[in-house]
Structure 1
Amino acid sequence: MKYLSSLFCLLVSIITYSQTTEKTKIYVIGVVHDSSPILNPQMLYGILDTIKPEILLQENDSQQITDYTKEIRPESNEQTATLLYLKKYPKTLNLPFEFEGRNQYRKNNGMVPTDNLTIKLMDSLYQKNALSSTNKIIYEKYINANKTLSDFAKTDIKTLNSLAFETVNRYRQSIQHHELPQISNSEDLFSRKFVTKPNGEKISYRDGYQLWCNFWDLRNNSMAINIIKKAYENKGKKIVVLTGVQHKYYIKELLEKYNDGNYVVIEYFN
């Protein structure tokens, strides 16, 4: 009887603990990286101070976080707001969630500068009416999507974190990364223009741009997985993820897709 009583108490304790243990709270805040009328460091600091997270996740890799205070950039919304927040709450963890070595990875594989060069060439061909009729339609969709995003850029940070912006941004990003390659893959000129990678090898605009488009999916998936790992390692904590507004919709979708019940994603701007 004493054994059964002890076992009952243990089970009650376990159930009570599981019921009272809070899930990790994840706030995904879409930001513009540089100070502007839409968002400045003081505004972002105000958001952080309202939420009061115990952990900040930055769109940086581990090396960038190690060097976080070596080069102060006053116009950086994330860095300046973070340093203000850490000064007030020094026990806060400031951690990375970016794809490791993102910038060098893109350079090494020839994604940069073929990304910008390819779009510039597309635009040049479009302006000269030198694209096929099918490709012209695709590129005009891209132009119109960019114009819509430009209108959003004249609003405010709440609007840039709205479902309306996410819908337009998702559409625009889909065109840029999944439809524009149809142009570079079908127009012969993109296979005859090259850049030289750091190792001396040449890569065509066509191949470099396709790799860059593929990396969009790889990068966002990597970032989401890194966020989930941090959430698992810090159960029950309050986490703020600071990411560029163009990544927010993708990260939110992946966090929902991979959610195992250990965390909840909270929309700050609702």
Structure 2
Amino acid sequence: MPLNAAYRKFFLVTILSCMGAGRLLSQNNTSPAEIIIIGTIHTGNKKFNHKTLYKTIKAVEPDMILREQDKPYKPVFGLSLVRFFKIGKPSIEQLSVQKYAQRNKNCDIVPYDTLIPDRRGYVKKWIGINKRFFAQLDNASKSASDSILYSDFRKMNKDYYAGVVRSTLAEINHAAVMERTRHLYEVEKKQVLAMGKSYIRDTATVADFEKTLIFWEKRNNYMAEQLIKIANENPGKKILVLCGLNHKYYLTQRLEQAQLLVTDSYKILAKE
């Protein structure tokens, strides 16, 4: 091989090797997605509303907002008027996200929830099942130890929701609230359901209640899997996740187990 041809080949191989190494180095240096999960009450309360949430979204400046929905985002014309004239009841997430999206065209709005064809119907049915189950368990004759456990659960549950409806957005996103949510769910799934099976004669009501718990867990699993997938597909981006408060502990736990970067939203909200 002529000398100049050998040099040309060496030079080409060197350049290609450097390019490959550069791409690999670039990939290795890509920062992970930063995930911020904010738990909300969909209707808001006296301490926070859609304006509070919009202010928080604006402060975070996310590249992506993930909504607890199963369909792609579409702006609704006259949404503020719908709320003002009380024609409908848009959630605080819908109101705040639409306002932010109008002013930040480059922010992607992405759904991550499982398919629920009739959301209002689902919520109404869930409330009805819970009311029947707990009304019957309240009146059932229980053992002394179960009576104490059940009474403690009911009081803790009542205090939890009473506290949530009078708390700020920052306060309901504190780690202590997430731990309380987790504890209440674990007691309900295990001890309370077991009591229902032991003391309630209406087996259909117990079966319906158990189905709601099973679906809730499947739904949380699906949501977590979607979040993990989206985060892995969008390295380097700041992703804001909006969810109902009771989902937050589970999603946070699953994302941390997947070794994703989850920023404590309480620290952000407490500054507002």
Task: Please state how far the C-alpha of 1:114 moved relative to its aligned partner.
Answer: 2.4
How many angstroms apart in 2 are the aligned matches of 1:188 and 1:164? Answer: 33
Q: 1:125-140 counterparts in 2 under 5 A?
A: 125=140, 130-140=141-151
1:264 and 2:261 aligned: yes
1:32, 1:39 within 8 Å by CA — same for their partners in 2?
no
Q: 2:18 aligns with which of 3, 9, 14?
A: 9
Alpha-carbon distance between aligned partners in 1 of 2:200 and 2:39, rounded to the nearest angstrom = 38
Which ranges in structure 2 are unaligned for 5 or more consecutive residues? 1-9, 84-89, 268-272
Which one-letter code corresponds to 2:263 in the other structure? I
Q: CA deviation at 1:18?
A: 2.0
- Residue aligned with 2:253, SS: helix
Tell me the residue number matched to 2:129. Answer: 114
For 2:12 and 2:135, locate their aligned partners in 1 and report how far apart those are by CA, in whole Å: 76
Query: Secondary structure, in 3 states, of the residue corresponding to 2:115?
Result: coil
* Structure 1 contact 97–227 (Cα < 8 Å) conserved: yes
Q: Distance in 2 between matches of 1:181 and 1:79?
A: 34
Q: Equivalent residues in 2 for 1:166-205 (5 A)?
A: 166-191=178-203, 204-205=204-205
- Corresponding residue to 1:43 among 18, 35, 52: 52
Letter in 2 for 1:254: R
CA RMSD of aligned residues (A): 2.6
Name 1:246's counterpart in structure 2. 246
Evaluate the alpha carbon distance shift between residue 123 and residue 158 of structure 1 in structure 2; reply closer, same or farther with a 3 A threshold: same
In the TM superposition, what is the alpha-carbon distance from 1:135 to its structure 2 partner?
Answer: 3.1
Q: Shift of residue 186 of structure 1?
A: 0.7
Aligned to 2:5: none
Give identity over the alignment, percent.
22
Q: Over residues 121-171 of structure 1, what are the superposed CA-to-partner deviations in whole Å (9 max), with x where a residue is unaligned?
A: 22343xxxx233343233213113214412354332111111111111111
The secondary structure found in structure 2 opposite 1:33 is: coil
Look up the match of 2:153. Answer: 142
Change (3 A) 1:6 1:266: same
When the two structures are superposed, what TM-score results if normalisation uses the length of structure 1? 0.81
1:91 is aligned to 2:98: no
Could you tell me how far 1:22 is from its partner in structure 2?
2.4
1:161 counterpart letter in structure 2: N
Give me the whole-angstrom Cα distance separating, in 2, the residues matched to 1:12 and 1:67: 42
Residues 189 and 68 (structure 1), Cα distance of their counterparts in 2 relative to 1, 3 Å cut: farther
CA separation of 1:249 and 1:92: change in aligned 2, threshold 3 A:
same
Q: Which residue of 2 aligns with 1:161?
A: 173
Distance 1:111 1:84 in 2: 31
Higher relative contact order structure (alpha carbons within 8 Å, sequence separation ≥ 6): 2
Specify the alignment match of 1:80 in structure 2: 95
Indicate the residue corresponding to 2:6 in structure 1. Answer: none
Larger radius of gyration: 2
- In the superposition, the TM-score normalised over structure 2's length comes to 0.80
Q: Report how many aligned residue pairs link the two structures.
A: 247
Match for residue 40 of structure 2? Answer: 31
1:40-92 residue CA offsets vs partner (Å, 9 max, x unmatched): 11110011111111211111112xx4566279463521011011101111232
Instruction: Sort the Cα spacing of 1:213 and 1:158 in 2 relative to 1 into closer, same or farther, 3 A.
Output: same
SS of corresponding position for 2:25: helix
Unaligned runs of 5+ in 1: 192-203
Runs of at least 4 residues off by over 4 Å = 65-68
